[in-house]
Structure 1
Amino acid sequence: LAMILALVLLPAFADVLGGTANRAEPENSGMLTFFEPHTISGALGLTLAKLAAFFALMAIVGRRVIPAILHYVAHTGSRELFRLAVLAIALGVAFGAAELFGVSFALGAFFAGMILAESQLSQRAAQETLPLRDAFAVLFFVSVGMLFNPMILVEQPLLVAATFLIIVIGNAAAASAIAVMFGYSLPIAVTLGLSLAQIGEFSFILAGLGVELNLLPETGRDLVLAGAILSILINPLLFAGLDRLMPRLENRAPVRTEEEGRIDITPKLTTTSLTDHAILVGYGRVGRLVAETLQNAGQPYLIVEERQVVADQLRAGGVDVISGNAAQPGLLEAANVNSAKWLISAIPNPFESGNFIEHARATNPKLEIIARAHSDAEVEYLKRLGANLIIMGEKEIARSISEHILSNINAPDTTTPSDSESRLTSE
């Protein structure tokens, strides 16, 4: 959010700060850029007016038009067309934001993502664009690597060292201090500080914008890139040192009560009253069918769902739901895993399932655990962690096909092709 504010305000203040705002925007780039303000208040007012107009257009038109377009394209049944529509909407909104309102391309893409999230097809859109996101991420970091000047390490070693120390020590100290001010324990504050003791892709975007606006020399960008790369390289070593230091921090950390202002970062979970029930983790395509089976059989069940929108919909329908990740501390206890009869993992990631399967098995040795997998290695992994039954989709499909073939080999042909086709469709 802070980066968004910087991307909005930096071009507006470029002229006032001695830069060249026109370099970041093409000539006659926006329908709202009728004048160029020469004061900070004028630049701020114009920028906020542009941003408000863009946000109003997206809130009024985008929230209605874009979801409608996605639903129309989805009903055509073409996966390629849906993927193309998502890409065209995202790039179109970003380009329109930059051309019509003078908003940065990156900020326009951010708003496009917000609008796409309003659609019920947002999860499918995210899945369809995953290969594109991976490709763009690779291209982004390749371009960053091409911008990096390794000679800066030789020509300006002291400035590189200073930049590196500012990034690592400055970020870590600031984040840790803020955490302590808000009442977190010393181990948590230090862990948070080391987690933020580096800078990443947002700093590259901001540095690039500074160079385009003539607010930052290219040497400054080289220093930022060098400091960022070094901070990323050193971060695992810092955490390795933290592992050794953590026992001392925990011993020295003062014990605070609720009355003394200790903040509990674990979300409050309400324990279910169900017993002899089934705990179903995940309400996707597989979980939905399993839930219907449990419902029709009259078996009490509880759903653990990470997507808040889906959880709210289920809760409104009278289903017992716990919102969150099944691996988070205290969630399985809130699901009353001690008294549960089954634990069913319907999520597609077996290694994520392994985190809570191991905990559930240790908590309730009599629990019947069912999971899904995609390979023999994943089956062995889940079995080793305590799953009783692991379903591998490909094997089940092959088994069903094989059973149908074997049942018809050397059997008298008593059905017509249409009858056989309808039976297979119903199955």
Structure 2
Amino acid sequence: MEHDTQVTRAWVLHPDITSAEQRREASFALEEAISLAAALPELEVVGSNVVRLSKAQPGKLFGSGKIEELKALFKANEVELVLIDGPVTPVQQRNLEKEWKVKLLDRTGLILEIFSDRARTREGVLQVEMAALSYQRTRLVRAWTHLERQRGGLGFVGGPGETQIEADRRAIDDQLVRLRRQLAKVVKTRELHRKARAKVPFPIVALVGYTNAGKSTLFNRVTGADVMAKDMLFATLDPTMRAVELPNNGPEVILSDTVGFISDLPTQLVAAFRATLEEVLAADLVLHVRDIAHPETEHQAEDVRSILETLGMSEETPQIEVWNKIDLLDADDREAVVARAEREEGIFAVSAVSGQGLDDMFAAIAKALASEKTREVLSLSFSEGKARAWLFKEGVVEAETQTDEGFEIEVLWSAKQRAQYQTL
């Protein structure tokens, strides 16, 4: 079918505003923005550049000379869509679209497009729709019509003639109320699933990290699962969970692979994906996977930490830092990184591709989970048969002695199992 192969010619601009408080290295920021665009198969990036500005112009973002220069550039390259790596106000968007005769998406719009393309579960789809509506509500311009695609994702935008949602705020608000109701039902179902999982005695180990850090590759290596692992930003959007026995006679755990984090993630999406990241909040151990070969690995790690903090992750949750992709470093750098990781507590230098360093990492996971267990002696009467049966089912009983009144049972259990026992 024709529409599947239709490609939109796009140009990526990164405005490097010198007066901005937090400036990222412009070349890396542009590279990431191009990767973002590449995550949508129907876009072809035909060019890109950094535009240095002392400050953003309120009406048109750029000065008139720069606007003219870029207009000529876009015309010569038959550009249909301009992606601006940063926030663009609705007024700036309308003015620039008029000047350049192209469609324009800012960073938030582009990330919403990617999320709509990738969301797989019912909850993921609903949450993206809600985030997109909140974003559109401030614009009321036909933000997505440049990609009239016949695919999943945002079914209510993009089709020809669908002007009602963009034209009428009340229609958007009604739609948001409907979506919230649907989402509440879906979240309830998830809670039931989570309660069922809480009864499973396996601890949850969550993989988190900046997008493209190699989490899915690591997940696949450990589980043998065929999770989409492409060199593409946001390859994973919905958490994938697998029960797996860690190698070398390690414990059985539930491994959870989550969406990659990114700097300047639109606030609507942090909120929208909070539930998707609930698995992280419920985890017994967090593996923070880093692309140690990336020039901005420190900044990326900082972004991940601050998002985890925003999500409200407990400081009590133990974390292991996994410095991935050491196979991409040259021999000297690799040696230095491995030596540094060995010196520091809770850090492991690995390659999910070659398998180097993984055995030590698995041993550390097993140790971290084992150290969370405590030994206790419980006195149960003969009438507490249900509680005794539960302890044996959970596999926490180390020794048992029968007394005149009942049983003395020595258990080795996690805090989670102890809490479950107290609710029996």
TM class, shorter-length: under 0.3
TM-score by length of 1: 0.27
Q: TM-score, normalised on structure 2?
A: 0.28
Query: Which structure has greater strand proportion?
Result: 2
Larger Rg: 1
- Structure that is richer in helix per residue: 1
